[in-house]
Amino acid sequence: MKIAMLVRQHAALRTLPRWLLLTTVTSLLLEGVRATSGLRLARAGEAAPEFAGRLLAAGALWAPLAAFLLVTTFRPRCGEQQLALPLPARRLWRAHVVAVALAGGAVLGLAALAAAVHDLALMRGAPAAIRDGVREVVPAAVVCLLCAVIGLAARAPSRQRVQASPGELVWGLAVAAGAILATAALSRLPAVALAAPLGLALLIAWRIERALPEALELATGGRPPARVRNGARAAAAGAWGACRPAPARGMTAITVFRVMSARGSLFVMLPVLCLYGLLLAGGMSVLTGDPADRGERDALFAVWGLLTIFLLVTPLPKQLRGLHLLDPLPLSRRFLFGVMILPGLLATGAGYATGAILAARAAAPASTIGLEVVAPAVWHPCAAAFIVVPYLLLAAAVMRFHAPDIGVTARRVGVVALQGLAIGSGLTVLGLEIGKVISISGATFVLKRTAANVGAAAPGGAAVVWLLAGAALVVAYRLAEAGFRRVEAPPESLRATRQGCC
Amino acid sequence: MLIVVDPHSGVPVYRQLMDQIRLHVASGLVGPGDELPSTRTLSAQLGVNPMTVSKAYGLLEREQVLERRPGRPLTVATRDDAHGREDRRALLRESLVAPATLARQLGLARADALDLFASLLADDAESEKPGASPDRADPSGEDER
Amino acid sequence: MSVLEFYEVHRAYRKGADVLHGLTFSVERGQVVGLLGRNGAGKTTLLRVAMGMLAPQHGRVRVFDLDPRAQAVEVKRRIGYVAEDQALPAFLTVGEVVDLHRALYPTWDQALAGELAERFGLERREKIGRLSRGQARQVALLCAVSHRPELLLLDEPAGGLDPVARREFLETAIRLLNEAGTTIVFSSHYMSDVERLAERVVMIHEGRLFLDSDLDSLRESFSLVLVPPGEGVDRRRLLLVDGCIGVREREDALHAVFRLPPERARAALDQALGARGANCRTIALEEMFIELVGGRS
């Protein structure tokens, strides 16, 4: 089998599309942070330490890249099926390195592109040091990428996959951290000097490849799989006894949630939603100083839009895939819906609360901190609500189409957007009305900010009708049991990825 | 009860149960008045549907091989000598049908086949268990068509 | 009382290929029905439709006289379901899965669950992903059975299990039958399990109900006839003989399945074709299945 074919089949390239959106978003965000904080310092007349600046620039490129490398490509070197083929280990290893380098390069390229677009669009008037910050570290980043790829692949090269263990994790993080530092450090050197580390990395790779045995080995380290036991085992006595206390009521919801969110996406989703809330409340502006420049806010808003799409695309389909594990269980749709939505909403709410508190503490009048959007102020709460609850809405709409592989189609997104606008508006109206009634000191300043923006322009009659309709929809929205359909695909003889076992 | 169920033979399970219980009764492994295991027990033991067991028991009850007295579990019925002999003949006849057909297919002469059968009976005479009926199968034309 | 009822059920894939075609049958309380059919014949779809996991495009399904989709939660509380391709979440432990089921089913019997768990040798703290296939299936069976369901739906429950696990499975099902009179509908490729457990057999072929009969009368009223070719005996003429329902041509003989006991099949054959030298015998379920369904277009 030619290397090209092996490379094409490699998992790194297959999972690449999912990472592109995240890469763009993260890169834009971090670049925004770097640029605006540098800008703020420049306006204040201070000079940022150079190394810190380069480190941030390197970080803007490396954050998504490191996540990609560690999460996706570190572990599996080749598929188990490929071990059965008459392929020498060297070819497999080489294909692995090439594939990861290519995929990593794509991620790096995209991150650089996103940062470049950000700088080009928003930093035109900025001093050269800030504008060209990312461009300067790119060559070093490329070299360090290769070194990192080889470094990760050098760990137990003769194994088919790297076993998850603390040692491996430490190795991976060390390589990633080292790559970021090296990028920052090496970017000061002329391009020619980069040839040295590059050459070294290639040499090491060649040595490793030479030293590989004829065949890669399956990794089975760790505990041996449970052996079948006959008859009654001397298991912990009374472990299964009839007097075992019944499980607590809340445990069901937690277990169901764990089943629905396949492990990984849980850790991605909640922090992202928290960040969402933070951004919306204007907390971002606190972190970067006070962006007086409108362009900054537009950029941030664009980022939020992308984040919305990211949420629509990534965690929800995974959750829905997890739903089919729960098919035979007597769980009502409302319960499942609640379990799907609440953690996300709570995370967003927590982030929003935090952001609002931070913003309020920054001791500036409410009307200047926070987000003004290009659209008239009357739409501001609607737009905010639309971004706040897409998660809720796609779940609602899509639970009608529960399928093992759920895809995002234009129609579904359109349905979601419409519902979102309506329901979001309704929620906002409710919130505002409640806020007027309640005047707990904590809650008031959170709502005051939104109210201040709304009051900037009087809503027209159509807008009021729209808002009321949204409120009515919130109240009337129900999930019918019968509307829940499972879409069946023709049987496959071999499933490439399976959740669970059996 | 030493019953074995073969799910792969073409014979339905209930029929196998009936045949083997009849054999038990006819050969004296269970005597008149002996209790039979309950439907539940036997089905769990053999790994078969309890309905099958109760069907077999029901049919044997109808044939009066087993009997159920009020207040007592299922027991082996007492058969008088004539019925007992008939039962045993019937059992043997059933398993002689196949060799008879085979003999015809092979085109063996009747005398040949009968000689063969007689010699087999003679061989087993020494190893025959005492207590079982020593009735010889009638070598007249009654057992063959 | 009818526990499960299918009436003219149609179900197709989105692209238009029919999976179930006008399926009609019903199962009474306490019956044990074996579903037979080739892979892809529609057995899995049938069971999923019964569970309410799929909706038929046409026709009507009733479980305990309820609509399994409209009253999904109530129906599922009374059903136990084990499927071969059912995957339990790998990262949960056995204990967590069992507790989840315990919380969801009001009729859960913890004593039974504990007894089965000890018999199968399961440990609470073992992760599902680390169990062998047979043990994972046993966990699924334990969860399906411990709430003493009124109806047990099993989709190739013994697939891929070693013989000991298969026997344990069978014994557990029989125990349920004995203790609770549970209705069981199961599909299986292990004919010996079907012959032991089922009292009624339903054969599905290409989405259609092909055969629905009592197992004992099925075996008694069918026979396999092997006819040497020649003497003007061919497949077509055999099929025309009264009682013949299927003929397969093999290298050295024609295999015909008759809906008659062996002697009457022989008589019918003699009468119709005058063919001698035919071998008429009773037929085991597996052979019957192969003759009826194998090699059909």
Using a CB-CB distance cutoff of 8 angstroms, which residues of chain B are in contact with residue C286? 8
CA distance C216 to A275: 67
> Hey, what amino acid is at A10?
H
Q: Which of C186, C219, C291 to mutate to test the interface with B (most CBs of B within 10 A)?
A: C219
- C39: tokens are 């892979």
Burial A384-423 (b: 16+ CB within 10 A, else e): bbbbbbbbbbbbbbbbebbbbebebeeebbebbbebbbbb
Question: Which of C 95-154 lie inside 8 A of A, CB atoms?
Answer: 96, 99-105, 110-111, 113-115, 117-119, 121-124, 126, 128-137, 140, 144
CB atoms within 10 A of CB A80: 10
| Alpha carbon A117 to chain centroid, angstroms | 21
- Search chain C and give the residue with CA nearest A226: C131
Total residue length of chain C = 297
Enumerate the residues of chain C whose CB falls inside 8 A of the CB of residue B8.
191-192, 195, 284, 286
With a threshold of 0.95, tell me whether the complex ipTM lies above it: no
What's the pLDDT score for residue B145? 41
**Which residues is C185 bridged to in the sheet?**
C33, C153
Amino acid at A91: R
Q: How large a percentage of chain A has pLDDT more than 70?
A: 47
Residue B9 near chain C (CB below 8 Å) = yes
Higher-pLDDT residue of A131, C8: C8
User: What are the tens digits of pLDDT across the range C96-132?
Assistant: 889 989 988 999 999 999 988 988 888 888 888 888 8
Closest CA in chain C for residue B38:
C178
Q: Residue A394 and residue A207: Cα distance in Å, rounded?
A: 51
pLDDT tens profile B96-105: 888 888 888 8
- Cα–Cα distance measured from residue C267 to residue C253, given in angstroms and rounded to the nearest whole number: 19
**Looking at per-residue confidence, does A301 or C286 come out higher?**
C286
Quick count: other Cβ atoms within 10 Å of Cβ A210? 8
- DSSP H helices, chain B, are 13-26, 39-46, 50-62, 81-106, 110-125
Does B66 score more than 80 pLDDT?
A: yes
Q: Looking at the predicted structure, is the pLDDT value of residue C156 above 60?
A: yes
Smallest Cβ–Cβ distance between A485 and the set C55, C123, C132 belongs to C55
- Calculate mean pLDDT across residues A135-159: 84
Query: A285 with A36: CB under 8 angstroms?
Result: no
Residue range A35-41: mean pLDDT, rounded: 72
Name subunits touching B (3+ CB pairs < 8 A): C
**Nearest Cα residue in chain C from B17:** C196
Q: Specify whether the CB–CB gap between B35 and B75 falls below 8 A.
A: yes
The stretch B68-75 carries a mean pLDDT of 82
Give the closest-approach CA distance of B80 to chain C in angstroms.
Answer: 31
- Which other chains touch chain A, taking contact as 3+ CB pairs less than 8 Å apart? C
Contacts with A327 from chain C: Cβ below 8 Å = 51, 53
Question: Which residues of chain B does C193 touch, with a Cβ-Cβ cutoff of 8 Å?
Answer: 7
Beta-bridge mates of residue C248: C255
Residue C5 scores a pLDDT above 90: yes
Q: How far apart are CA A415 and CA A400, in angstroms?
A: 12
B10 chain-C contacts, CB cut-off 8 A:
219, 281-284
- Cα separation, C118 vs C124, in Å, equals 10
Residue A153 Cα to chain centre, angstroms? 25
**How far apart (Å, rounded) are the C-alpha atoms in residues A414 and A85?**
46
Mean pLDDT of A1-8: 77
- In single-letter form, the type of residue at position A478 comes to R
Residue-wise pLDDT for A417-457, tens only, equals 555 555 555 555 555 555 444 433 333 333 344 444 333 33
Residues of B in contact with C196 (CB under 8 A): 5, 7, 13, 47-49
Q: What is the 8-class DSSP label of residue C182?
A: -
Residues contacting C60, CB < 8 A, separation 6+: C5, C6, C7, C8, C9
- Can you say whether the dihedral through the CA atoms of A59, A65, A69, A70 is positive or negative? positive
Q: Do C167 and B47 touch (CB under 8 A)?
A: yes
Task: State chain A's mean pLDDT as an integer.
Answer: 65
DSSP conformational letter for A70: I
More confident residue, A428 or A171: A171
Q: CA-nearest residue of chain A to C45?
A: A488
